Amino acid sequence: MSLLEVSGLEAGYGLVSVLFGLDLDVDAGEVVVILGANGAGKTTTLRALSGMIPSRGSVRFDGVEIRGSRPDRLVRLGIAHVPQGRGTITDLTVAENLLVGGYGRRDDITPDLDHWFEVFPRLAERRTQPAGSMSGGEQQMLAIARAFMCRPRLLLLDEPSLGLAPLVTREVFERVRIAAAEQGTAVLLVEQNANLALAFASRAYVLEAGHIVGSGPSSELAGDESIRRAYLGS
Ligand code: ATP
């Protein structure tokens, strides 16, 4: 049994259908990416999984049906979602954002707080500033650190490269990889930058107009001629 088992997932906005029966799974501790062009339905997939929009089909987490569950229940089960470009509470300070991330944990969260200030020194320097006053890159770092503060078993990560300089993006991906490995967190990433994503994830799904049209180990997809032409710019 996989940690996350999705079958026949359908979702959309009002009368417009966007996802047409997705099947995918993520094992415990595994890093998986959903690749796809603009508008393929990547963000919609994560929104459906995290209960932000209504959906049909089955979403099982650790063997339990969670489709349609409210975000607070998902957090309690161990699922954290970093939405595209807005994973922070902009009015709260950096430190407050991290504390909110750890809210609900019964153990001492101070070591994790110190850990993330060490990982991202820029957050430590700005710990008393409102999150909204920071650059996009810094807010992305904060959103990720905040998500890890709840020690999730599954992290849903939406396009962390959006609006970031390539060097910052690489740093953010590397930090996610290390934290996920240390905590045994599975990651389901959606990303348009296929080169980067395939280097980061061990397995990938390719989403096209709301259908999964390919899947396999990242190394295989990176070598696939049609994938290269469509997503890797070569
Ligand atoms: P991108 O990288 O551009 O975010 P994506 O693969 O994540 O692409 P989605 O954002 O999931 O794609 O969008 C899939 C389709 O759903 C698109 O046709 C988009 O126009 C539509 N869509 C997305 N959000 C909404 C919304 N809030 N209301 C109506 N339609 C939407």
Give the per-residue SS3 of the chain: CCCEEEEEEEEEECCEEEEEEEEEEECCCCEEEEECCCCCCHHHHHHHHCCCCCEEEEEEECCEECCCCCHHHHHHHCEEEECCCCCCCCCCEHHHHHHHHHCCCCCCCHHHHHHHHHHCHHHHHCCCCEHHHCCHHHHHHHHHHHHHHCCCCEEEEECCCCCCCHHHHHHHHHHHHHHHHHHCCEEEEEECCHHHHHHHCCEEEEEECCEEEEEEEHHHHHHCHHHHHHHCCC
With a 6 Å cutoff on the Cβ, whether 12 touches ligand 1 is no
With a 6 Å cutoff on the Cβ, whether 36 touches ligand 1 is yes
| Pairwise CA distance, residues 176 & 173, whole Å | 5
User: What does the pLDDT read at residue 228?
Assistant: 75
| Pairwise CA distance, residues 43 & 84, whole Å | 8
| Pairwise CA distance, residues 202 & 180, whole Å | 13
Block residue for tokens 């407050």: 96
User: What does the pLDDT read at residue 232?
Assistant: 64
Block residue for tokens 């001629």: 225
Strands 31-35 and 64-65: unpaired
| Pairwise CA distance, residues 57 & 106, whole Å | 34
- What residue's CA is closest to ligand 1, atom 28? 13
pTM metric for this prediction: 0.94
With a 6 Å cutoff on the Cβ, whether 39 touches ligand 1 is yes
State the distance from the centre of ligand 1 to the C-alpha of 213, rounded, in angstroms.
Answer: 18
User: What does the pLDDT read at residue 37?
Assistant: 87
- What residue's CA is closest to ligand 1, atom 30? 13
- What residue's CA is closest to ligand 1, atom 18? 39
Backbone angles phi, psi at 166, to 5 degrees: -50, -40
Please, is 37 exposed, middle or buried when counting C-beta atoms within 10 Å of its C-beta (0-12, 13-18, 19+)? middle
- What residue's CA is closest to ligand 1, atom 23? 44
Distance between first and last Cα of the chain:
37
Q: What is the chain's pLDDT, residue by residue, as a tens digit (234 residues)?
A: 899 999 999 999 999 999 999 999 999 999 999 999 889 999 999 999 999 999 999 999 999 999 989 888 998 999 999 998 777 899 999 999 999 988 878 888 999 999 999 999 999 999 999 999 999 889 999 999 999 999 999 999 999 888 788 888 888 899 999 999 999 999 999 988 888 899 999 999 999 999 999 999 999 988 888 777 777 665
State the distance from the centre of ligand 1 to the C-alpha of 173, rounded, in angstroms.
Answer: 23
With a 6 Å cutoff on the Cβ, whether 126 touches ligand 1 is no
User: What does the pLDDT read at residue 147?
Assistant: 94
State the distance from the centre of ligand 1 to the C-alpha of 110, rounded, in angstroms.
Answer: 38
